[in-house]
Homo-oligomer: A and B are copies of this chain.
């Protein structure tokens, strides 16, 4: 087997090695049944157990209170961008959005196809940052307030969440769900494509407060109605069973690590390694996100010297680092440090950053 790469991909992204090894062991013959999990009915007792247990693991890890449903859907966050306004943005209401970057913008653009929208707050132009919660202005006729808890491309992350009173708070948590504990009861709906912190692509987790199911538009195509999936326990049609199974293994791995308090501590340690290098480099490196908005999931930075940045980009692959080029819309560099990226990978990157500066500074 090849040496395991230092995988800083932005998504699909690193998975825990233990999870991959267990999946490998069970792939051809799932726990002695003489078939792969991919070969059995989604209504078999084996898959029903995966479906139920995965919901329960998420409930336990996130401390999801009574009155919420956990759903496993298809189509990624991009489908949620449409499903949210289709289900909730009725005539006379406005979908309120906090605009924090590329992903928030995609959610807004999709809602604009469907109904009336409003920008409740936005990132200060020329910065990569999350607006202060006090700046958020929710219109009186808001159907919901939508936030993007972590902007994968900018490397910015909410440090706390707004209180929205009776207006449902909806969050795209695709790139930081399960990275730290938070109070789920503040939210009406949380969604996350799996391919960053939860598992492989192909499944989207939705956590929805049950009262919202009743509010939803009942004339929509069946597959776009949250109520249909909730009523059918995510088995209305054939689910992306293998992806849900990998999520199940990832959640068990997180539980064994000690849950979200332990994971949050580790994520902070991992990213502090990198942010500390930038802040102590005398300006050689510079973090792109404003300090108060720095993400523990996506670390973005640049080199002051453009030529040296090119040299850095040429050099890092030969050192076993994968996925450090920034997204084309922001440029520069980015290390995605999701839960499954080991401390050792971040340590190796911090060492390489220091070494590169020493050689070129």
Contacts and interface: CB of A to CB of B under 8 A. Distances in A.
A95 interface: no
Contacts of A28: 1, 17, 20-21, 24
A192 B73 CA distance: 18
A319 interface: no
Interface in A184-210: 193, 195, 199-203
| Chain multiplicity (copies) | 2
Contacts of A322: 34-35
Nearest to A15: B39
A238 B80 CA distance: 13
A242 B15 contact: no
A11 B38 CA distance: 9
Given A20-B27, A114-B221, A223-B82, A242 B202 contact: yes
B78 A219 contact: no
B27 A12 contact: no
A41 B110 CA distance: 24
Contact of A221 (B11, B12, B110, B241): B110
B221 A2 contact: no
Contacts of A203: 202
B76 A237 contact: yes
Interface in A98-125: 110, 113-114
A223 to B, nearest CB: 5
A285 to B, nearest CB: 24
A234 B204 CA distance: 18
A179 interface: no
A36 interface: yes
A195 B33 contact: no
A141 interface: no
A159 interface: no
A202 B241 contact: yes
Interface string A317-338: 0001011000000000000000
Interface string A68-82: 000000111111011
A218 to B, nearest CB: 10
A40 B42 CA distance: 27
A303 interface: no
Contact of A14 (B35, B42, B201): B35
B34 A4 contact: yes
Interface of A: 1-5, 7, 9-15, 17, 20-21, 23-24, 27-29, 32-36, 38-42, 74-79, 81-82, 86, 110, 113-114, 193, 195, 199-203, 219-224, 236-243, 246, 320, 322-323
9 contacts: A5-B34, A12-B40, A15-B39, A38-B199, A78-B237, A82-B221, A82-B224, A110-B221, A243-B243
Given A5-B33, A20-B27, A240-B240, 4 more contacts: A1-B29, A41-B323, A201-B241, A202-B202
